A = this chain, B = another copy of it.
Amino acid sequence: MTNWLPTLITKTPEEGYELAVKLSRIAVKLTQPDAEMREKLRPAYAENADSLIASSQVVATHFATVAAANNYWLESS
């Protein structure tokens, strides 16, 4: 996973949101490096409302960081 995060700067808010999603998923990969096991767990959260909400919470926390890093994309908006 070398160089997966060269910068927190993105051109647009959408790209910033996508980066937040990526940041959320990397932690899962680091704790459970076995891709097959992660795939096995996928239905357990993608089909569970509470897990989806919890995932969304992680994204929200990372999005706050990415948005601040980009000064809320004020210059480009």
Contact = CB atoms under 8 A, between A and B. Distances in A.
Interface string A41-68: 1101111111111111111111111011
Interface size class of A (residues with CB under 8 A): 35 or more
Q: Summarize A's interface: helix, strand, loop or mixed.
A: helix
A6 B44 CA distance: 33
Q: Please give the count of copies of this chain that the complex contains.
A: 6
Given A7-B73, A13-B6, A68-B72, A63 B28 contact: no
A36 B2 CA distance: 31
Given A53-B55, A59-B27, A4 B8 contact: no
Contacts of A30: 21
Those 7 A-B pairs whose CB atoms lie nearest each other, nearest first: A69-B72, A27-B56, A60-B61, A7-B77, A45-B49, A27-B59, A44-B49
